[in-house]
Structure 1
Amino acid sequence: MSPSNTHLPPRNRGGAIPKPRLPKKKKKKKSAFKSFLKLLLIVIILVFLAVAGYLGWVVTKVDNTILDTGVDTPVAPEASAKIKPITMLLLGTDYRPKTGTHLTDVMMVATFNPDTKSATVVSIPRDTRIDLDGYKVRKANAYYPTFLEAEKKSGITAQDEMKQMFTKYLGLPIDYVTVINFQGFSDIVDALGGVDVNISMDMCYKDKADGTDIDLKKGPAELNGEDALGYVRYRHSGPGCKPRTKESDDFSRNQRQSEVLHSLIDQMQTFSGATKIGSVLDAVKDNMETDLEKAQLKNIIATYWNISKSNVKFVPVTGEWKSPFVYINDDELDNAKQALMNEFAGKSAETLDQSTNDTNP
């Protein structure tokens, strides 16, 4: 045999045949996708813990805030806003430290329904002529300051007087009234980081007496609190503006109020908006008065915090301007009253349309 035969294993002096060497196992590379999932899971857990802790802080913040705003009386379980529709009068006064006035430039009546998680809001033009038995004929926005002056003599709060008057005017019971001044509105917008609107025309108005300085240009814009206030208030131009801008009637003002409210709803329902709720509550605390019970305010926040913008219906009420009043269109006022009653009953516009079609031959 030839010693050069390479098919045989080499001889070992110790006589033992060595074990053949196995090929080394290659280490498996970690899946990039699995690593990403693990990282994502960690991030989700951290976010969840942060949000959970934040929500706990919000609950504490709400409790502390409404101690200064809500009424300290209990709410019967059957009257809770979580299960019962409620109607509220919302008033925005022109009060600012520089003016000291209390004209209600914004007047809205809103009905909320917890079953449908929806709301119907009716805006009343500020110059509306109101002629009711037992009340002197005035512009709608002049009643609140009049009632404030009479509080000491009458023993009835201005809020209760406004509730009674609008209950009679609209023909449906109003449960609560909330008054917020212009400074509060401006602070809320700033707390949310501004509000997005689409300005329909140039607006300019300057008044040195109260510091009003409205200078807005047509087109999409993000407004801070002061500019947003000017946007919803603007009526006409003045001598301080060159060139002067077009006038705006009460009906256009109501449309702009609705636009801003919708935009604020959008802001509040973003994650960024939710994290700013503390600042919003601080803005509300110092600038709002309400006869809502503390527990009821909590019920409303819990029930309608995530209300969809599409579930907030704004019903316009217009009329004819004959200085110094707006004479409301009776048909539109009747439609607005019916819309509020339908909301209270949980009847959506779609349901009403369908029932109307079913009854038609």
Structure 2
Amino acid sequence: MKKKWKVILYTLLAVLIIGSGAGAYAYWKLQPSQHFQTVPVLNPANPSEAAKPAAPTKHNAFNVLLMGSDQRKGDKLGHTDSMMIAHIDLDKQMYHIISIPRDTRVYLDGYGYTKLTSVQYIVQANKGTEAGVQAAIKAIGDLTGITFNYYAQTNYWGLQAMVDALGGINMNVPFEVKLTHAWNAQNQNKVITTGSHFFDGQMVSEVVHERYSLQSGEYGRQMLQKEAISGIAKAALDPSNVSKLPELVKKVPEFLVATNLSTADMLSVGLAVKNFDPGTQLQYHQVSGEFKTMYDDILKNNNSQLVLNKEELKKLVDQYFKS
């Protein structure tokens, strides 16, 4: 759910740079190998390092936390419905993504153990939007051992607007999907067959939201989200969509609900992915786990929580997500 706006902004580079007297220097500074020599550290292992705004990167690689909220238009609060961690290695031109299921059991400072989906909601309700984002970053960092440099949050309505700005996408649906919790009443109980489909923004947001009808539940939904990312990336990189980029750029603020990525950061990432091939450069990972009935310290009851396989998670993180 993220590659699109990175790629989109690549086209803005010409507008911002070519007409400038300092264009050559600006272009050089925006080259990914130059721009990302230092990156912010959002969840330092040593709290005393929090005051440092940036740290040198190793091998031009960094981690981005992608969060999808179920917050609807007009709502002030929302649950974090999907979490993906992207490791961007600029030297190797490889992109690794791991999904962290919404029902994963995590520890929230000051509250205790709960589902990951509740972390942002409860802190946001009590301390505001930014505090909610930071709490989610810390909880996921503590769980995975991953240090985050950037974050970007969207919601399903923003996703819908972005796909529509592209004119729709081709999305592979790896298994049959029945829409049991549709956002839009006319789509309730609609069945999407296995195979390739051309979807508008509304249908993409419906499909990636579904999990109850899937045999593998949340893990199945993660696979649908992965296919949506691939479809969006391919559409955004399609030369025939160049004329749609201005409209796509216009939708970026609507799509990005919250982020610490600056305009320059996004432009530089856009340069990095200009030749991106999701078929060969994107690797997607999942971590197995076991659902257990456990006490939720926030909800004050027992509910089903996913306990991830710690050894499997550590091995995956050490291999692909350590800069």
State the TM-score, normalized to the length of structure 2: 0.72
Count of residue pairs the alignment pairs up? 266
Displacement after TM superposition at 1:276 (Å) = 2.0
Structure 2 residue aligned with 1:302: 271
Structure 2 residue aligned with 1:218: 193
Whole-angstrom distance in 2 between the partners of 1:322 and 1:275: 50
SS in 2 for 1:250: helix
Whole-angstrom distance in 1 between the partners of 2:66 and 2:171: 22
Give the AA of the match of 1:193: G
Displacement after TM superposition at 1:55 (Å) = 4.7
Q: Determine if contact 1:104/1:144 at 8 Å carries over to the other structure.
A: yes
Greater RCO (Cα-Cα under 8 Å, separation 6 or more)? 2
Structure 2 residue 138 is matched with structure 1 residue 179 = no
Q: Determine if contact 2:182/2:206 at 8 Å carries over to the other structure.
A: no
Match of 1:106 among 82, 86, 94: 82
SS in 1 for 2:241: helix
SS in 2 for 1:275: helix
**1:145-184 → structure 2 map (5 Å cutoff):** 145-151=121-127, 157-184=131-158
Structure 2 residue 242 is matched with structure 1 residue 274 = yes
Match of 1:316 among 273, 281, 286: 286
Q: Determine if contact 2:68/2:82 at 8 Å carries over to the other structure.
A: yes
Whole-angstrom distance in 1 between the partners of 2:35 and 2:194: 49
Q: Determine if contact 1:108/1:122 at 8 Å carries over to the other structure.
A: yes
Instruction: Please report the RMSD computed on the Cα atoms of aligned residues, expressed in angstroms.
Output: 3.0
Whole-angstrom distance in 1 between the partners of 2:11 and 2:64: 27
Structure 2 residue aligned with 1:125: 101
Displacement after TM superposition at 1:94 (Å) = 0.8
Structure 1 residue aligned with 2:15: 59
1:209-248 per-position Cα deviation (integer Å, ceiling 9, x unaligned): x7583423313321111111111111225xxxxxxxx655
Distance 1:207 1:306, change over 3 A: closer
Displacement after TM superposition at 1:284 (Å) = 2.0
Structure with the largest fraction of strand: 2
1:98-152 per-position Cα deviation (integer Å, ceiling 9, x unaligned): 6554111110111111111211111011111113665521111111112212325
Distance 1:60 1:156, change over 3 A: closer
Displacement after TM superposition at 1:56 (Å) = 6.3
Whole-angstrom distance in 2 between the partners of 1:274 and 1:76: 25
Q: Determine if contact 1:82/1:114 at 8 Å carries over to the other structure.
A: no
Displacement after TM superposition at 1:326 (Å) = 1.5
Match of 1:193 among 163, 167, 170: 167
Match of 2:64 among 88, 91, 105: 88
Match of 1:265 among 226, 233, 258: 233
Give the AA of the match of 1:313: Q
SS in 1 for 2:227: helix
Whole-angstrom distance in 1 between the partners of 2:215 and 2:192: 14
Distance 1:137 1:55, change over 3 A: closer
Sequence identity percentage: 22
Whole-angstrom distance in 1 between the partners of 2:309 and 2:58: 35
**1:216-295 → structure 2 map (5 Å cutoff):** 216-220=191-195, 221-236=197-212, 249-288=217-256, 289-295=258-264
Distance 1:57 1:113, change over 3 A: closer
Distance 1:82 1:227, change over 3 A: farther
Displacement after TM superposition at 1:96 (Å) = 1.6
